[in-house]
Amino acid sequence: MSALVGANRILFIDEAQRVPGIGLTLKLLADQLPNVQTIVTGSSALELAGGINEPLTGRKFEYRLLPFSTAELAAETSPREEKRLLEQRLTYGFYPDIVLHPAEADRRLTELADSYLYKDILRFQDVRKPAILPKLLLALALQVGSQVSNYELSQIVGTDPATVDRYIGLLEQTFVIFQVSAFSRNLRNELKKSKKIFFYDNGIRNAIIKNFNPISLRVDAGALWENFIIAERIKANLYAGKRPAYYFWRTTQQQEIDWLEEENGLLRAFEFKWNPTAKAKFPNSFQEAYPNAEMAVISPENYMDWLV
């Protein structure tokens, strides 16, 4: 091991999941060379975690590296500049290669989606019906921010609910999508088993549906805004060391609230409006059931304060 590392005190291994026996190798490095800091990255989170978790128990710190965040880019340029680029971010997202090459965003996003979503993920053994994956991703992209069920998705893509559930779990573990459950505590008519699915990056979502039209020409501007602001809020909380529980709220009478955060006994409720002049009212039934909840409306006029 000493001969391999030499006098270096930092060892960087990229795409570590491709190294046979990487877990045991890292364990030996940690045990025999305690003064050497080893940084290990991998584009396939499942493969990497499967290879290192058991051998490195108690010897590692894990970090989740998501695409750029609004706060990161605002710190690099300015909040005003990021607000100027808001519609571009809603369309093309935050992957570093896209942010650094905006003139080629369409082509690069398409290539990224094809290689990452289809080629890399299809390598996993759990993907036994590869033709289902593009259909499922398209269905999720078209219903982003809407309530979904495994049964309805299985009818759309032509498979069984168990396969849909397994593939959604795979897409979640590879940080393509994330699920949000319904919030229910007090009211009998609150939906309890519903879920919504969002994408970590708007650009990937738009690449899946092959739509990079400007926001002014789109019928899904509200859904794009909701997906964007939720993903960015999760990044902001993650990087600030906060880990609230996330929910949406809806009743059988179709009353709903876009976003709830619960942390240390405090409940916060948020409505997201792409049009700053649109009226937003929190249902009386929610306010009566949760009188101590904080409530706010987030629009393009005030979103920067919510994220930075």
Q: What is the pLDDT of residues 203-231, one digit of tens each?
A: 999 999 999 999 999 999 999 999 999 99
Residues 126 and 27 in one domain: no
Which tops the pLDDT comparison, 5 or 67? 67
CB 176 within 8 Å of CB 208: no
Q: What is the mean pLDDT of residues 164-169?
A: 90
Q: Quick: pLDDT tens for 264-287.
A: 999 999 999 999 998 888 999 999
Domain count, the chain: 2
Residues 38 and 77 in one domain: no
Residues 148 and 44 in one domain: no
Q: Provide the pLDDT for residue 148.
A: 94
For the cut 60, the answer to whether the pLDDT of residue 296 exceeds it is: yes
The Cβ-side half-sphere exposure at 111, using a 13 Å CA radius, reads 8
Q: Quick: pLDDT tens for 119-143.
A: 667 666 567 777 888 899 999 999 9
Residues 284 and 158 in one domain: yes
Rg for the chain, CA atoms, rounded: 21
Range of the domain at 236: 70-307
Range in 15-29, 58-72, 171-185 the model is least confident about: 15-29
For the cut 90, the answer to whether the pLDDT of residue 54 exceeds it is: no
Q: Quick: pLDDT tens for 242-263.
A: 999 999 999 988 899 999 999 9
> Which residues touch 151 (CB under 8 Å, ≥6 apart)?
161
Q: What is the mean pLDDT of residues 233-242?
A: 95
Q: Flag whether 60 is in a domain.
A: no
Q: Flag whether 159 is in a domain.
A: yes
Q: Flag whether 186 is in a domain.
A: yes
How does strand 37-40 pair with strand 10-13? Answer: parallel
